[in-house]
């Protein structure tokens, strides 16, 4: 019985360390996953809006993307150069290009800040069928 006396509590310590690690991973996931999800939603909106080049002006596409970014809680879209919409062509056909480039920061309670880079380019050709 005296041989195992020095091992007392080791099971509890390992269990507590695993529990702390699990809580840290869950907290990190809760903070990071929504950022990536909202970035992806904004990228999908850029693809959808880019396909409407025949019916929307560059200003209307930019306004729609800014509105979507606000709804998703992405204030970084307001930064200089974060959103660029260019339309080359005329009313009968052309190309629409949308470029999203910004960095979001995920703060882990002041201990660490994770930078999440977004650099998405979408380009679509359009032809007016009228």
Three-state secondary-structure class, residue 79: coil
pLDDT at 25 over 80: yes
pLDDT at 59: 93
Q: Give the mean model confidence (pLDDT) for residues 90-99.
A: 86
* Residue-number span of the structural domain to which 116 is assigned: 2-127
Q: What is the pLDDT of residues 43-76, one digit of tens each?
A: 999 999 998 887 888 899 999 999 999 999 999 9
Looking at per-residue pLDDT, the higher value among 53 and 106 belongs to 106
Q: Which residues of 10-37 are buried (b: 16+ CB within 10 A; e: fewer)?
A: eeeeeeeeeeeeeeeeeeeeeeeeebee
pLDDT at 130 over 60: no
Total count of domains within the chain = 1
Beta strand segments in the chain, E:
83-90, 93-108, 112-127
Query: Which residues, in sequence order, are bridge partners of residue 105?
Result: 115
Residue keyed to tokens 């032809």: 127
- Decide if pLDDT at 101 tops 60: yes
């Amino acid at each position: 019985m005296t041989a195992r006396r020095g091992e007392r509590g080791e099971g509890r310590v390992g269990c507590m360390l695993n529990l702390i690690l699990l809580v840290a991973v869950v907290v990190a996931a809760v903070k990071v996953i929504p950022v990536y999800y909202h970035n992806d939603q904004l990228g999908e909106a850029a693809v959808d809006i880019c396909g409407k080049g025949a019916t929307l002006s560059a200003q209307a596409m930019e306004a729609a993307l800014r509105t979507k970014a606000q709804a998703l809680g992405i204030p970084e879209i307001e930064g200089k150069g974060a959103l660029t919409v260019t339309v080359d062509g005329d009313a009968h056909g052309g190309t629409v290009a949308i470029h999203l480039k910004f960095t979001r920061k995920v703060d882990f309670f002041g201990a660490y800040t994770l930078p999440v880079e977004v650099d998405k380019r979408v380009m679509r050709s359009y032809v007016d069928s009228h």
